[in-house]
Structure 1
């Protein structure tokens, strides 16, 4: 009996330490630096940086505003050519006030004020969806889109934006790079064919989406560099074993947790999954630190 008490006490102490650390880790931002190969990338884009983050989940209890602010400060200091945001900006946008939406936008506003272009897609939470079987609230998504556009964010919904150099394409100028944004998978609004329709077959492009599962629908060779979020890196997982994560074990669909996903998607397509900033259900991260990713673009030649 005495041995049992000691073991139970030790387990209780270990669990308490783990929970305390889980509450601390969301404040430990990882700034990951990666190289992204885009065949045919114009010379003026060679070596340019693109910043990627998302999954803010603003409005969740004990949300992660301070880490989001740290990521924004890092972005402004690095001054990338553009910022890509991967969705889920508000935790429960269908029942949260304009004040809570403004809280998220207030953090993002300095990026636009620094004249850094921002492009975004919407995630499942932006459609008011807590699970895949819910009914998407289109009015909620439109409210989120309008709020983002009010601070200068270009929201892409199954469409592509052409670029020339490091700014928007000008009339009569051949676009040097396209950014395509795919709609929300859980809202049954992801149509990759529409997102790619206006991009010339051999034109260099970046493809962004919220849910990594949308990546599987992209035809071979159409997404040599793609980014997604949604998974929070598993949020709670065993170190070096992303398949043993809370998100993967509680999901009824395939989960591609973080980093470059090997052997996934059609030939010639490459996907990077960002761990995001916020959390779902509980405000804890373990072995899944919040992430800002900075990609250096290269043609690979």
Structure 2
């Protein structure tokens, strides 16, 4: 699965879950607020009704708005005062009641030492809230699909520089190690990655050329003694059987060259184990130069090699 798809799905799931959670919390809070507002309305209107009890129909000294359901307790017996909605009194209780699609909210109050159970039809408020909930449940998946669609293309757009980096890295070889990624002035995470890759490519380029030069030097150092050994072997094949002096000289030279090659190999092995740490020490330059001249003299006996030194003592 592509990285853009994984990122889009992850963001979509997180956003969808967060949206559901937030909506559920808001819905519960709105429902609670509406019911609290309806309770306040019942209390407020019941107080107004009590103030007008001398001018309206009275129930043991109290009147209530005509749309209220009202009842009281008379010697532990519940008595209905008014029931404009013909709701079965056996269903009356404090809190929310739902009957035949109608919603009623009941609260208990105490007035002048008497306890009343007052109810109100709150179906209009509940239906409005339910319509909002239904619309939201249909709207959330549509918005989620839109977010998923837009999020995928945005993720594809944001990941485009990474794909370009990937393609450029795939095309790299030893012939174009000098390539560097262009870095924009907006130093975001992608540009920082380009800077890091450019630094790494610079190190690779330097290391590659150092390795190439090292291999060239080693090849040269090995080619010289090998050529010397081959020359002495050819000398043995020509005159070794007839001239013991030449045979001995050739064998000694081959042995000496082999020892030098052994030392060179051991030095290379030590160098690789030491992590390319060079041991610096003083050497007798004259002896080294004489040894090289001696090797070339034996390899080319028909030529004369002479060392000229022009240096301060």
Query: What TM-score comes out, normalization by structure 2 length?
Result: 0.22
More strand by share: 1
Greater fraction of residues in helix = 2
Larger Rg computed on CA atoms: 2
